[in-house]
Every structure is written in C-alpha cells, then in structure tokens.
Amino acid sequence: MNKGILVVVSGFSGAGKGTLMKRLMEKYDNYALSVSATTRAPREGEAHGREYFFQTQEEFEKMIDHDELVEYARYVDHYYGTPKAYVEEQLEAGKDVILEIEIQGAHKVKRKFPDTVLLFVTPPSAEELRNRLEGRGTEPPEVIKSRLRRANEEAEGMNSYDYLVINDDLEECVDTVHSIIQSEHYRPGRNQQFLNQIQQELKVFMKS
C-alpha cells in the first residue's frame, strides 16, 4: 500500500476553510484531518481535542523543545502548531492527511516534505471576505481588522501554492478539493514501486 499524501490547506481567516474541511470529511473517506495545538482561547462551541488542543504558552513551548511538532508559527499574537505523531501515523496507514494551517507553516512543511500538496482557498472577493468575518460574529472588531491586514500580507504568498480554489459554492468547492487530491495519487513519483516493477517485468520481452 502507498503512503498517504500530505495536503496543506491554507486560506484567509474567514475563507470558510473550517466548513469546507468538515464537509470534505463527511463526504469522503480516506482523509485524516490533523488537529493543531494553539495558545489562543477557544471560541464558543469549540472543544478541546476537536477544533484544537488548547494550550498554555508554557505547554506549547514544551512541545517545541521536545520536537513534537511538524511545524509551528505565530499568527496574530498566538502560537499554532501541528503535532507530529498523528500525522506520521495516519500517512503510514495510507490516509491523506490534511493540515489546515497558515502560510508560514505551509512553506515550512513544503521545505521539509517537498511532495506536500499546497492548496489555497479564497473567497470570491475581498468584500465577501470582510462580510464573512463580520457575519461570523466570533471576533471583536480590532481582531477582524488584524485578520484582514494579515490577509493582505498572505495574498503575496498565494502564487507559491500548487492549487488555488475559489470557495463560492460549498459543495462544488468540496468536490474540487477532493478531485485535486485524488489526481495527485496518479503522479508517477507517487507510484515508484509499481513503476519499478513494471519496468523490470517488461525487460523480459527484450530476451525473446
């Protein structure tokens, strides 16, 4: 069995990544969504171990010291990081593992594991992004402002992603993300064992 594919999904805060990932998990098998650790406070409705592992700064820094994270970054005053053990275990089990992380983390993962697929999700327009952030009602106005400023910075890095997906219609977007990831399985480099085997087998015909 081939190992699973590591997929990073990034996008501006308010791009609808959370909903998109939730729907992807419901609709298709074979994905494992990594749960990150963070020092930010839980939002209403968020549960420890489901949306995030909510940690103190001290606990988080201990994970860094013990090399327990695939990557970590700071985002608007807080730490966010990907615990290593779960990712490794799920990839070994053949699952495609999704990391929903911001752009600095995405680049760190790509440098460490160059065959990672980087996918960027964006709303159809900047206006729509602001509407979604304000409509969510989970952040005070100054945090929304910081997140919109951060979106402006992040937009610079969109070009270095492998795929850009516009999240207009949720179902359509889920299916697009699924088909991109599935197509990745057919790259020759991800099927090296089969490739070697059939090349070897074909050599037999040279002898007759």
Q: Which residues bind ligand 5GP (CB under 6 A)?
A: 13, 36, 40, 71-73, 75, 80-82, 100-102, 104-105
In angstroms, the CA 23 to CA 25 distance is 5
Judged on CB neighbours under 10 Å (0-12, 13-18, 19+), 11 is: buried
Q: Least separation, in Å, of the C-beta of 137 and ligand 5GP?
A: 14
* Residue (31 or 75) nearer to ligand 5GP, CB: 75
Whose CB is nearest to ligand 5GP?
105
In angstroms, the CA 90 to CA 132 distance is 33
Q: Least separation, in Å, of the C-beta of 45 and ligand 5GP?
A: 12
Q: Least separation, in Å, of the C-beta of 71 and ligand 5GP?
A: 6
Q: Least separation, in Å, of the C-beta of 41 and ligand 5GP?
A: 10
* Residue (80 or 161) nearer to ligand 5GP, CB: 80
* Residue (51 or 191) nearer to ligand 5GP, CB: 51
In angstroms, the CA 33 to CA 24 distance is 10
Closest CA to 87 of 186, 177, 5: 5
Residue 100 has which token pair?
A: 């929903």
Q: Least separation, in Å, of the C-beta of 75 and ligand 5GP?
A: 4
For 180-190, letters b (16+ CB in 10 Å) and e give: ebeebeeeeee
* Residue (55 or 176) nearer to ligand 5GP, CB: 55
* Residue (66 or 207) nearer to ligand 5GP, CB: 66
In angstroms, the CA 65 to CA 51 distance is 23
Rg of the chain over Cα atoms, rounded to whole angstroms, equals 19
Q: Least separation, in Å, of the C-beta of 60 and ligand 5GP?
A: 11
* Residue (128 or 190) nearer to ligand 5GP, CB: 128
Alpha-carbon separation of residue 80 from 64, 121, 157, 163 (angstroms)? 11, 19, 19, 23
